[in-house]
Amino acid sequence: MPFSDENHPLWEVKNLKRALHAAGVALWSWTVETDSFAMDEKAFELWGLPPTGTVTFEDLSSRIHPSDRDRVRAAFNATRAVIGAYEIDFRILIGEKICWISARGLGNDEGLYAGQMSGVFLDVTGRKQAEEGHELLAGEMSHRVKNLLAIASGLTNLTSRSTNSVEAMAKELTQRLTALGRAHDLVRPLPGHHGSAALLGDLISVLLTPYDDDGAFSGRIRVAVPRMGIGEQSATILALVVHELATNSLKYGALSVSSGLLDISGTGTDDQVCIAWTERGGPSVAPPSGEAGYGSKLLNRSVTGQLGGTINFDWSGEGVVITLTLDPKKLAT
């Protein structure tokens, strides 16, 4: 019967190998006595090696990630004691690229034939990267929840000392927590697992939207700050700062009257970011007398302690001007 006959066993084997290669499956056999591997073309391609008759375990070891090398050697040696199927996942280095390989076969001498053990190699890089991404996401979410719980606890204590009734405490605490929520809605992971960021202008604009009469920035509130990313931690702190400043303006300053205007402008260099909060058109204001309130203490502690900057108040007759000088490195965290 000619080889071209599709019913010929060799033809079936050829089709099976073609199907395996289409599925990304690479074939190997390990001669236990000589410690040598025979591999098909797909396996050589996965390992980034030129096709040869045989390769030794040491040849393959040169491509295995140093952190996995001893583990893989021990795992292969232990496969003869494994009952049933086994699977060994490990990293290999192709130049500067890290790939994940899964070696699979039968242990306990079930896969041993004529002194050889056989199995398959699979490229599982995509699956491993997805697993790492899920782990990073879970870790990030856990970190955020812990931070928010700690901040919520601190705000609760702070608000309880600055209010005289349960209703007032509930209102102020709710407003502060809502500001945090709006800030965190803007924070998104950056590509390549390099942290999270929101744009400074977007953050301030979203936080101030509830204080605008029309809710659409018709000109009463103007925001013009440097285009720069803000890290998750800094976004949380800035949300508190903006909320406190806006609340004070709503009670006593430009936002307390329909004719008042609020301008937030800024400049930025590699060494510092300056943000000017300028109120005009509101009632006359004067420096607060007596001991600073808890809102003022929160502002100072947030800006100087957590953002590594300074906050200055200019109580001019036209309206207060508040200047924030911040550390760009702190803002990025």
pLDDT of residue 298: 72
pLDDT of residue 43: 87
Choosing among 3.30.450.20, 3.40.50.300, 3.30.70.260, 3.40.50.170, the CATH entry for 9-123 is 3.30.450.20
CA separation for the pair 224, 65 (Å, rounded): 49
Structure tokens of 273?
Answer: 């970011």
Name the architecture of domain 129-331.
2-Layer Sandwich (3.30)
CA separation for the pair 266, 228 (Å, rounded): 11
CA separation for the pair 53, 35 (Å, rounded): 14
pLDDT of residue 249: 82
For CATH 3.30.565.10, list the domain ranges present in the chain: 129-331
60, 30 Cβ separation under 8 angstroms: no
For CATH 3.30.450.20, list the domain ranges present in the chain: 9-123
The DSSP secondary-structure symbol of 64 reads B
Q: Which of 267, 263, 275, 271 is nearest to 311 (CA)?
A: 275
Per-residue pLDDT of the chain (333 residues; tens, 9 = 90+): 444 455 545 556 566 666 666 667 888 887 777 778 888 888 888 888 888 877 887 888 888 898 888 888 888 777 766 667 888 889 999 888 889 988 888 766 655 666 677 788 888 888 888 887 677 556 655 655 665 565 566 557 656 766 778 888 887 777 767 766 666 666 555 554 445 567 888 888 877 776 665 443 456 888 999 888 888 778 878 877 887 888 788 778 888 887 889 999 999 888 889 999 999 988 888 887 766 565 677 778 778 877 888 999 998 878 899 999 998 888 888
Q: Where are the alpha helices (DSSP H) in the chain?
A: 9-22, 41-47, 57-61, 66-78, 125-162, 166-186, 200-208, 232-252, 294-300, 328-331
Residue where the block lists tokens 């300056």: 274
Instruction: Give the number of residues written for the chain.
Output: 333
Q: What is the DSSP track for 136-195? A: HHHHHHHHHHHHHHHHHHHHHHHHHHH-SSHHHHHHHHHHHHHHHHHHHHH-EEPTTT--
